[in-house]
Amino acid sequence: MFRKIISAVMMITALHAHAQQNADMKMKTFIDVLMKKMTLEEKIGQLNLPSAGDITTGQASNSDIAIKIREGKVGGLFNIKSVGKIKEVQKIAVEQSRLKIPLLFGMDVIHGYETVFPIPLGLSCTWDMNLIERSARIAATEASADGINWTFSPMVDICRDPRWGRIAEGAGEDPYLGSQVAKAMVKGYQGDDLKKNNTILACVKHYALYGAAEGGRDYNTVDMSHQRMYNDYLPPYKAAVDAGVGSVMTSFNEVDGIPATANKWLLTNVLRKQWGFKGFVVSDYTSVNEMTAHGIGDLQTVSARALNAGLDMDMVGEGFLTTLPKSLKEGKVSLAQINAACRKILEAKYKLGLFDDPYKYCDENRAKTEIFTSENRKEARSIAAQSFVLLKNQGNLLPLKKSGTIALIGPLADNKSNMNGTWSVAADFSKPISLYTGLKEAVGDKINILLAKGSNLEEDSLLEERETMFGKSLGRDHRPAEVILQEALNIANQSDVIVAALGESAEMSGESSSRSMIGIPSIQEKLLRALLKTGKPVVLVLFTGRPLTIKWEQDNVPAILNVWFGGSEAGHAIADVLFGEVNPSGKLTATWPQNTGQIPLYYAHKNTGRPLEGQWFQKFRSNYLDVSNDPVYPFGYGLSYTTFNYSDITLSTSSIKQGESLTANITVTNTGSYEGKEVVQLYIRDMVASVTRPVRELKGFQKIDLKPGESKVVTFTISPEDLKFYNYDLKYVAEPGEFRVYIGGNSDAVKEASFTLK
């Protein structure tokens, strides 16, 4: 019986491989024929990706871009929204250009399309890969219904420096978790078949190491050892490639002294040769041109270097379009290289089925019925509630009772446009649910909700202007600060509980939104102190796109719920958690430091030769005079309305050989009075190795649901594969020796066991 099953499986695999080979041959023949007809200019045209800035509906044919499309000088467009416009532009390509090659239509569909999910950092805090995949699936369905066939997502840059605003766009600090998220998102966008009309091409970015910018300043220099790259920063990009991602975007930064966009080692040796990537590589926005400022040559030089390094498509800057013909004449690039890049773009279009039907994403009926639907918003609400992280809940202040009077106070208390967070270009900013609306809808007339702003976002109006760009205003209040504060204190004094909606605005994180100090802005801090002085219980509902330094708040505010930017349904989702309809289960995916000076602070650090063991401070140990080494909240941390107890760990054996595996069991019990979800986390430490290894690394996790009093045994299987790392020679190996296992509800997990690999 068993043998029969095996041979059936083998036969299906062989048939599948055969069918794939046939499909590849068919694609190759189709593209060979097409490319024979193409002029050099038309081939280079495929490598050009302008932004569609100047196109408005009904005017497409008169735009500058339309002229270029007719001449075959455009391979794809982005920043164009609506099925009507896209159809009009696609028509120019397939009806008015010589070879009728359809266009790619890209967009930054990062955490939802019109239905917006929490910012990616928030999404990652669900630790729920099905939910994350689901959010990407819905985003792809909506985007494809509106004409988009390519998204510039997932962003998988590991970041251990929360000053960097783009930490909001990724999955935090950990390569293992980041890799799981990368896979889930690629699967969500691309589905199992790109030929369908509701799956779209994904683009993993920003390759590579963009999250390691020095000082957390955006676009800044990156410099790190290959050890660190391979072990900590590259795995999520590789995971996306392994999951079949169709395209890769290069990053703005340099890697080993060569900007990523012209880095042959990165784009060819690692990406294509080591990882076997078969899709195409696109630059970031003018990142080809910017290599002149990096100091490696004029536009012609950097464009030629980029192509030779393995870049296929040039976003916005037109370095390829304007200089490659000359470089070819001068022998600086080869026709073979141009052909290879052009083929990659055509293959992507072929795989999407655009040659069969260039309008397959232009179904106006889908646009009317599949976008921002009530079902999608319902899912967004549920996903948002699961992304929130309960940071503190002294005396079980939360959940709130539905009685009495609530004073809702803060610059983010009644705002819609900021709820989506960074990168929500397709969304209508007037549509998200504000916290005030969410609370009111949740309580009806059971509770009296009083509302006041209490303070502006920032004391400095110029700073506030920078932090509320792109129409995401918080409606600056121009009255004197004392008047605004007093108004809030008046309602605070009439209330039973204060809900303070404070933190960052949406545009304080995301691209080009680095901060040197990452606390709650001081004017809001002042408001918070004044609210605490009233003696009323205070719940801090914290909006943020990054970990903040909130040591003082942790010490002084009784309850803190971190809500990131929750998207379209933010207000409803926050109300769901505040009133206990949903028990919070989010766990942090980046460490929250005590102050900026501790950065970079991350759990998987090395031990050093002089680790601080025991009490801080110790002379001649690795610590600071003025702050301990501890974070305020470690990676993996997050509370629930219930409590969980962890038993000791039992290992199935105390030693394994290469090729064997063991199991680690632990019993988790819900010891509180609410049903709740817990993310059970497995960390491993390699005690002795040929190179130094982190003090612990995440190697597995399971999210379980427990009723009050219920226990579950959680089992992790550990094999040598989980023990592997890139050694000094960058070989991926599991070295024999002792390994420690830690299991618990965050990265400080104390339950411990150990085994050896023989």
- Taking the complex as a whole, the smallest distance from the CB of residue 64 to ligand NOJ amounts, in Å, to 19
Q: Which residue is nearest to ligand NOJ (CB)?
A: 152
CB nearer ligand NOJ, residue 108 or residue 576: 108
72: left (phi over 0), alpha (psi -120 to 50) or beta: left
**Contacts (CB under 6 A) with ligand NOJ, residues 402-441:** none
User: How far is C-alpha 365 from the geometric centre of its chain's CA atoms?
Assistant: 31
511 near ligand NOJ (CB under 6 A): yes
* Per-residue tokens: 636: 């993996």
CB nearer ligand NOJ, residue 565 or residue 592: 565
- Taking the complex as a whole, the smallest distance from the CB of residue 110 to ligand NOJ amounts, in Å, to 8
CB nearer ligand NOJ, residue 55 or residue 484: 55
CB nearer ligand NOJ, residue 80 or residue 400: 80
User: 573 near 566, Cβ under 8 Å?
Assistant: yes
111 near ligand NOJ (CB under 6 A): no
* Per-residue tokens: 273: 């040769």
User: 541 near 501, Cβ under 8 Å?
Assistant: yes
For residue 600, the tally of other CB atoms under 10 A from its CB is 15
Runs of H (alpha helix) within 165-234: 175-190, 226-228
153: left (phi over 0), alpha (psi -120 to 50) or beta: beta
Preceding omega of 617 cis (within 30 degrees of 0): yes
Runs of H (alpha helix) within 422-563: 435-443, 461-466, 481-493, 522-533, 551-556
Dihedral sign computed on CA atoms, order 294, 298, 301, 307: positive
First to last CA, the chain: 35
For strand 751-757 and strand 258-259, is the pairing parallel, antiparallel, or unpaired? unpaired
CB nearer ligand NOJ, residue 144 or residue 300: 144
157 near ligand NOJ (CB under 6 A): no
- Taking the complex as a whole, the smallest distance from the CB of residue 624 to ligand NOJ amounts, in Å, to 34
* Per-residue tokens: 212: 């390691």
Q: Is 626 a catalytic residue?
A: no
Per-residue binder mask for ligand NOJ (CB under 6 A), 6-25, x = binder = --------------------
User: 212 near 219, Cβ under 8 Å?
Assistant: no
For residue 225, the tally of other CB atoms under 10 A from its CB is 10
284 near ligand NOJ (CB under 6 A): yes
- Taking the complex as a whole, the smallest distance from the CB of residue 203 to ligand NOJ amounts, in Å, to 8
- Taking the complex as a whole, the smallest distance from the CB of residue 217 to ligand NOJ amounts, in Å, to 15
CB nearer ligand NOJ, residue 256 or residue 511: 511
**Contacts (CB under 6 A) with ligand NOJ, residues 124-153:** 152
Select the residue interacting with ligand NOJ from 81, 163, 183, 205 (CB under 6 A). Answer: 205
105 near ligand NOJ (CB under 6 A): no
Backbone angles phi, psi at 130, to 5 degrees: -70, -40
* Per-residue tokens: 271: 């990406």
285 near ligand NOJ (CB under 6 A): yes
For strand 559-562 and strand 538-543, is the pairing parallel, antiparallel, or unpaired? parallel
User: How far is C-alpha 551 from the geometric centre of its chain's CA atoms?
Assistant: 26
CB nearer ligand NOJ, residue 221 or residue 622: 221
The catalytic residue among 284, 414, 576, 686 is 284
Q: Calculate the alpha carbon distances from 171 to 125, 175, 623 in Å.
A: 8, 9, 28
**Which residue carries 């490639």 as its tokens?**
241
- Taking the complex as a whole, the smallest distance from the CB of residue 157 to ligand NOJ amounts, in Å, to 10
Q: Calculate the alpha carbon distances from 276 to 36, 146, 185, 198, 578 in Å.
A: 27, 32, 20, 27, 48
Rg of the chain (C-alpha set): 27
CB nearer ligand NOJ, residue 53 or residue 611: 53
**Which residue carries 């994180």 as its tokens?**
509
- Taking the complex as a whole, the smallest distance from the CB of residue 285 to ligand NOJ amounts, in Å, to 4
The one-character DSSP state at 168 is G
- Taking the complex as a whole, the smallest distance from the CB of residue 152 to ligand NOJ amounts, in Å, to 4
Q: Helix or strand or coil: residue 669?
A: strand
Select the residue interacting with ligand NOJ from 42, 108, 161, 312 (CB under 6 A). Answer: 108
CB nearer ligand NOJ, residue 364 or residue 511: 511
**Contacts (CB under 6 A) with ligand NOJ, residues 324-343:** none
Amino acid at 200: I
Q: How many residues bind ligand NOJ (CB under 6 A)?
A: 6
- Taking the complex as a whole, the smallest distance from the CB of residue 595 to ligand NOJ amounts, in Å, to 29
The one-character DSSP state at 592 is B
- Taking the complex as a whole, the smallest distance from the CB of residue 139 to ligand NOJ amounts, in Å, to 14
71 near ligand NOJ (CB under 6 A): no
CB nearer ligand NOJ, residue 108 or residue 363: 108
- Taking the complex as a whole, the smallest distance from the CB of residue 697 to ligand NOJ amounts, in Å, to 28
User: 286 near 258, Cβ under 8 Å?
Assistant: no
The Cα–Cα gap between 640 and 563 comes to 14
CB nearer ligand NOJ, residue 425 or residue 734: 425
* Per-residue tokens: 653: 């054996």
Catalytic residue positions, numbered: 284
Q: Name the site residues for ligand NOJ (rule: CB under 6 A).
A: 108, 152, 205, 284-285, 511
